[in-house]
Amino acid sequence: VYTSKAADAVSWYQAQPRISLDLIAATKLPLDAPLIDVGGGASLLVDRLLTQGRNPLSVLDISATALASARARLGADAAKVRWIEADVREFAPAQRYDLWHDRAVFHFLTDPADRAAYMAALRRSLNPRGHVVMATFALDGPARCSGLDVAHYDAASLHAEFGADFEMRESRREIHLTPTGAEQRFTWVHLRLR
């Protein structure tokens, strides 16, 4: 998608990732807690987190183009971020994280085996008592995104994907306006590993 559209033209673009920042702040993690943004690509979240003084930060995306766009945008600050080009389902972390953030990757995993691989990578990556902040398409969200089928969740069904060893801390609904003005409904959760 990033090879055919500018970063600010993709449907998931946000000039201000407000809910991500709110839920990350709600974790009350110190600024030096390791955080990974899965599917972060060209997202502006990493810019905002760096401005807050958060570090270490990692951004994982399958798209080299998206990662290059973010690195170029950040300039010298890009050196403060660990950039990981990988398929999250096969991700083997070099470190563990206190917070795993995913705004809109998980809902692309419509096959149960892919979701299981994602969860295995998440569990390999997360520190004990670690936090997850995740957004997926809501039950009334779009049927497809970027030409791909997607899964839909409410807070309860998304929590169920993680299992009983994750505690639900907060959930929200969002109506996201795409750059073209279309509405996309999202479910957000903040979970914590027990």
Q: How far apart are CA 81 and CA 68, in angstroms?
A: 12
Per-residue pLDDT in tens (0 to 9) along the chain, 194 residues: 434 555 554 555 567 899 999 999 999 999 999 999 999 988 999 999 999 999 999 999 999 999 999 999 999 999 999 999 999 999 999 999 999 999 989 999 999 999 999 999 999 999 999 999 999 999 999 898 888 999 999 999 999 999 999 999 999 999 988 778 889 999 999 999 99
Say which CATH topology domain 18-193 has. Answer: Rossmann fold (3.40.50)
Residue 67, C-beta contacts closer than 8 angstroms, at least 6 positions apart: 41, 42, 59, 61, 83, 85
Nearest to 103 by CA among 11, 4, 20, 193: 20
Nearest to 36 by CA among 55, 13, 12: 55
Q: Where are the domains of the chain?
A: 18-193
